[in-house]
Chain A
Amino acid sequence: MSATATMVERPPPRARGWPRPRVAGYALVCLWIAFGLGIVAYLVLAWNPAFFAKYAPAYLRGLGVTLSLVAIAMVLGAILSLPVAYGRMSSNRILSGLAYCYVYFFRGTPLLVQTFLVYYGVGSFRPQLSEFGIFLPVFSDGLTLARFTLWDFFKDAFNCGVFAFALNTAAYQAEILRGAIESVPKGQWEGAASLGLHKLQTLRKIILPQALIVALRPYGNELILMIKASAIVAIITVYDLMGNAKLAFANSFDIQAYIWVAVVYLVMVEILRHGIEWIERRITIHLKR
């Protein structure tokens, strides 16, 4: 035992003194510290209670708008991604071709263009959209029926944002789902078939539990990407977090409007990233040896 122990190569001794990488590393870390301190110092020096009192509630409201937009779009996208993923995996040429085109379009064009296409572009069809309407009960001095048309939906910027984001994330989520389901070996399907389970049961009880472990990280990344991308709805006049920052900057010309919003986004993304890593560690515990 001791003989083999001496045979094993020792790790090289740690470099001592000041080799070049260490000098560079310390310099860069110092640069970051200086940068961070600079920003903190700026925020402290530029501390303006009036600015804070005026815009902090708006930022909170904006945060709520951002989160609800992302949450609704993610859920709608998840529902919409099911038929798309089914189409992508289907052996029917037409179906898979359609699904492929859908995914290619939404992944190949910028989300900003898609959002503009919905928000400004749908306005071109206002007369046609106003024709389709349904009667919904509303409470305005008593229960009455009011006619809601598609145009009533699309004239609101928030709805347009949700619509564009849901379509966009559906394409990405369909690919995630497809990749995850295809990552499960074919033998699992065959094994389930030999046990007499039908397809839906196999999918629900055997394939999805394995596939979703694979899909967790990409889904988490998609969520983070959506939160980051949601900043662009500020451009179509939605007062989300970024929209309120734009407003605050336009009113005050104070760059701390954007610094604060950057801090909020960064904290949000970091919390999510670490949360996803934690969940992944938890649910793959049985796979570790």
Chain B
Amino acid sequence: MPAQSLWTLLSWGPDGWLDDIAYGALVTVALALATLPIGLTIGFFIAYAKQSEEPSLRLAANIYTTVFRGLPELVTLFLFFFGVPILLQHLIRYFRPDATIDVNGFVAGMIVLSLIFSSYASEVFLSAFRAIPKGQYEGGYAIGLSNWLTMRKVILPQLLRIAFPGLENCWLSLLKDTSLVSVVGLAETLRNAGVAARVTKHSFLFYSVAALVFLGLAIVSSFATSAILRSLGRREAQR
């Protein structure tokens, strides 16, 4: 085999690995984007439970964040990836004794990352809830809005604006945490870079490329979030 130049290795196509890594980057972004809405929704409801007056609701929400913020991400992932099939298998044996269950890496990653993301996001939402004065709820009540409408039309728009910078941080760590899912075999950026590194023996090159991909994603998302923040600020100014 002729010695391949670095540019051949990094080219697009059958000789190069750039297409594989680009595909991996796509999977990384897809995983993070698929996690985001689930995590945000769960995180919002956890924060809502934490600021409720009902002690049992607060307790349940606090257990959730204690567990998922206290466990290492990798342990949560492995527990889920290896534990849930065993659990499901036990349940399914009652109906179909010969069934086997495999957990898809993407789905397992999505669920685990939403659990982790939501427990961090709930802290951000909680501090945003605390920053909204009580008068906003009372004002909503005074003009005859139902609880649900007050939440949707009065509280939520302000809440999102206050929580936005904190959620940006959560998003960045979510983006980085997606690399952990490579460990259970999902073909994302790091995994594909690792395959390329093993095949070509140019480990430093390909892991650097993977690092650059993550760096690029972080830079792109910081541009995107600052654009969103600016448009939010403009809308604020128009009032």
Contact (Cβ within 8 A) B70 A266: yes
Q: Which residues of A contact B (CB under 8 A)?
A: 15, 19, 21-22, 24-26, 28-29, 31-32, 104-105, 108-114, 116-117, 120-125, 227-232, 234-235, 242, 245-246, 249, 255, 258-259, 261-262, 265-266, 269-270, 273
Name 14 extra pairs, CB < 8 A, besides A117-B208, A124-B203.
A19-B54, A26-B56, A32-B60, A109-B176, A113-B179, A116-B190, A120-B194, A120-B203, A121-B207, A234-B74, A249-B82, A255-B86, A269-B69, A270-B70
Contact (Cβ within 8 A) B49 A113: no
Which one of A21, A31, A109 contacts B211 once the chains associate, using CB atoms below 8 Å? A109
Contact (Cβ within 8 A) B75 A242: yes
Q: Which of B60, B76, B79 has the most CB of A within 10 A?
A: B60
B46 to chain A, nearest CB (A): 10
Residue pairs across A and B with Cβ atoms less than 8 A apart, 21 shown, are: A25-B49, A25-B55, A29-B63, A32-B60, A32-B63, A104-B215, A108-B172, A113-B179, A120-B197, A120-B203, A121-B203, A125-B204, A228-B72, A228-B73, A232-B74, A242-B74, A255-B79, A258-B79, A259-B79, A265-B75, A269-B70
CA distance A63 to B96 in the complex (A): 41
> Which residues of A sit under 8 angstroms from B215, Cβ to Cβ?
104-105, 108-109
CA distance A242 to B76 in the complex (A): 11
Q: Does B57 contact A (CB under 8 A)?
A: yes
Contact (Cβ within 8 A) B180 A112: yes
Q: A25-B54, A120-B203, A124-B205 are in contact. Are A108 and B75 (CB under 8 A)?
A: no
CA distance A125 to B207 in the complex (A): 14
Contact (Cβ within 8 A) A114 B211: yes
The number of chain B residues with a CB under 8 A from chain A is 51
Within 8 A of A (CB), among B177-233: 177-180, 182-183, 190, 194, 197, 201-205, 207-208, 210-211, 214-215, 218-219
A79 to chain B, nearest CB (A): 24
Q: Which residue of B lies closest to A111 (CB)?
A: B176
Which one of A31, A228, A258 contacts B78 once the chains associate, using CB atoms below 8 Å? A258
Which one of B54, B182, B194, B202 contacts A22 once the chains associate, using CB atoms below 8 Å? B54
CA distance A112 to B178 in the complex (A): 10
Chain B 31-55: CB-based contact to A (< 8 A → 1; otherwise 0): 0000000000000000001001111
B219 to chain A, nearest CB (A): 8
CA distance A84 to B207 in the complex (A): 24
Contact (Cβ within 8 A) B52 A120: no
Which one of A28, A116, A235 contacts B57 once the chains associate, using CB atoms below 8 Å? A28
